[in-house]
Amino acid sequence: MTIQLSIRQLAKRYKTGEGISDISFDVKKGELVTLLGPSGCGKTTVLRSIGGFLDPDSGDILIEQKSVLQFPPEKRPTSLVFQGYNLWPHMNVYENLAFGLKIRKVKKDEIRRSVTDVLQLVRLPGAEKKYPSELSGGQQQRIALARSLLLKPAVLLLDEPFSALDAKLRHEMREELREIQAKIGLTMVFVTHDQEEALSISDRIIVMNQGRIEQIAPPQEIYDEPKSLYVARFIGKMNFLKGVVIGERIHVDQLSFPNIDKLSGQVSLAVRPENIMMNEAAGEGLSGEIKQIMVLGHYAEVTIDLNKHGIIKVFKPRDSVKELHAKQNVKVTFTKILAYQTEQL
């Protein structure tokens, strides 16, 4: 598949010492890649550098095999959808959408046709005469997205576009964005600090930490096989326990596991809540006491105190916890573990 965007050894440092170093990745044509990480990790610096709003200290940015570093934002084949909608309040929807096309000297008939088509695409047909103040937050974000789509960018950049919306609207907008992307085959680079958002919409996720890339992989691989303790902590819910390597195995009290990565000494075990089995108190496993049971829709979250191993969370089908109660003694075992050298902490 054709490489639409190529980032090569990009670096940008601010006076504070924050910034990005040695950032390299490719985005294929029609792919949605998400830059994921906490505030200050450098994801927005990468995005704004692609859009031309920041000049990197070194490295290169190629779109359709051509370097775009020398071009200002308006001359680049990109369009940026911001967290704020940035709509002109004194213009109606049609005028907001037509503005960029008028600057490009597009004919009136073509503008009218394009605006009608894009409003259909973002599910707001007939909204041409409304003003931004008459639209909900979700509708305004749709118009902001439509405005960028009209410019037919080679790469669409999205900087936390749904973070100002409520949870239900965010979910709906993610689905719509994915649908639009599939329909028109647009290449997108999406920035978010919301792991659920990244896991739900991305073809691939780039996890960033302190200005560097920790891991690039599809969502399922990032979730199932985090390459570092940082990624394991950041993606999804995870339980952590201390273990030790003895011989060829990793031990946590009487439980032992294969030492696949040839670790040594003290290790940190990471276990997803869905990979924990609960047995009767007389069975095998680590001893614990149930502290709390919370039914969260179709599943339940059971909190267990493992004494010296700390508190862990277990996910179970809702119906399977009916007989359980607080202060009940149980034993737990793990169906799958990940292990990391403790020095990474």
Residue 276 DSSP code: E
Is the pLDDT at 164 greater than 80? The verdict is no
Higher pLDDT, 334 or 279: 334
Is the pLDDT at 66 greater than 90? The verdict is yes
CA-based nearest residue to 199, from 181, 222, 183, 176: 222
Query: What mean pLDDT value characterizes the chain?
Result: 90
Phi, psi of 306 (to 5 degrees): -95, 25
CA-based nearest residue to 233, from 261, 270, 206: 270
Average pLDDT over residues 158-172: 83
Confidence of residue 85 (pLDDT cuts 50, 70, 90): low
Q: What tokens does 171 get?
A: 């979910």
pLDDT value at position 205? 97
Q: What tokens does 31 get?
A: 């792919």
Is the pLDDT at 163 greater than 60? The verdict is yes
State percent of the chain over pLDDT 70.
98
- In this structure, the strands spanning 19-28 and 3-13 are antiparallel
Is the pLDDT at 229 greater than 60? The verdict is yes
State percent of the chain over pLDDT 90.
54
Task: Please enumerate in sequence order all residues whose Cβ is within 8 A of that of 13, keeping only pairs 6 or more positions apart, or say none.
Answer: 19, 20, 21, 57
Is the pLDDT at 345 greater than 60? The verdict is no
| Length of the chain as a residue count | 345
Q: Are 68 and 224 in contact (CB under 8 A)?
A: no
For the chain, list the domains and their CATH numbers.
Answer: 3-231 (3.40.50.300), 237-344 (2.40.50.140)
As a whole number of angstroms, the distance between CA 207 and CA 180 comes to: 24
Average pLDDT over residues 29-42: 93
Q: Are 184 and 152 in contact (CB under 8 A)?
A: no
Confidence of residue 76 (pLDDT cuts 50, 70, 90): very high
Q: Are 214 and 206 in contact (CB under 8 A)?
A: no
Q: What's the whole-model pTM score?
A: 0.88
pLDDT value at position 344? 47
285-318 pLDDT, tens per residue?
A: 899 999 999 998 889 999 999 988 999 999 999 8
Highest mean pLDDT among 79-88, 121-130, 209-218: 209-218
The whole-angstrom distance between residue 234's C-alpha and the CA centroid of its chain comes to: 10
For residue 265, give the 3-state DSSP assignment: coil
pLDDT value at position 280? 75
DSSP-assigned letters across all residues of 208-263? EETTEEEEEE-HHHHHH--SSHHHHHHSS--EEEEEEEETTEEEETTEEEE-TT--
- In this structure, the strands spanning 66-67 and 78-81 are unpaired
